Structure 1
Amino acid sequence: MITLFRKKLSPSSIRELSEIFDTCIQHLESSTDSDWSELGVKEIIKLVHKSKKILAKGKAPSMSSINYLFMPTGPLQETAMQNGWVDEYLALAGKVDSIVEKI
């Protein structure tokens, strides 16, 4: 298990976070920059990839980075709204919230 803030992520939470990151990357790869996001699509993809790679190495990704990406009106939401996948984003953000609540 991976520890995060001295709490452990279960294997199912690790798998779910990885799947969420993959889904975000898939959406982002066909997205354009949002006028409202302080990060461009390429920068967001880099942050998501970084978190995914850290998770794949058996380490906990930075929760501050994850919280930043998934916060309301954060880079992912603004990009999702600009590119027509906001409903999918909201579902993914809800899953992230559920995982974070468990730890």
Structure 2
Amino acid sequence: MKALAQVLDDLVGIVTASEQDTTWTGRWDTGDEMVGELRDHAERLRRGDTSGLGELEFLFLPTGPLQEVSVSSGWGDRFLVLAGRFDRAQAARGTAPGT
């Protein structure tokens, strides 16, 4: 869980560093809403609560909410690196994304 939480912490670092364009996703009205959800997921993972993993997998999907925000906010390449880390962390715990 630690690796997954670290991916989310790194993602929050990117998101809080500049204004986010959430126009293309109906999920969040502001970057602050996005940060709140990501921090909540990270905290739950740190407690060992994996109930939100399916939702996180959805957020990290290609053309999913996080990628949409990343592309429109200018950090699409950084998102791809984080999504790769997320996938590897999921695989390391024996859970392939989408399963």
- Please give the range of the TM-score, normalised by the shorter of the 2 chains: 0.7 to 0.9
2:69 aligned to which of 79, 83, 89: 79
Number of aligned pairs? 90
Distance in 2, Cα, partners of 1:34 & 1:15: 27
Alpha-carbon distance, 1:60 to partner: 1.9
Distance in 1, Cα, partners of 2:37 & 2:58: 10
Structure 1 runs (4+) greater than 6 angstroms displaced: none
Matched, 1:67 2:57: yes
Higher strand share: 1
One-letter amino acid matched to 1:86: G
SS at match of 2:20: coil
Distance in 2, Cα, partners of 1:28 & 1:61: 24
How does the TM-score come out when normalised to structure 2?
A: 0.78
How does the TM-score come out when normalised to structure 1?
A: 0.75
The structure having more radius of gyration, on CA atoms, is: 1
1:36 aligned to which of 18, 24, 30: 24
Unaligned runs of 5+ in 1: 1-13
Unaligned runs of 5+ in 2: none
Identical-residue share of aligned pairs (%): 28
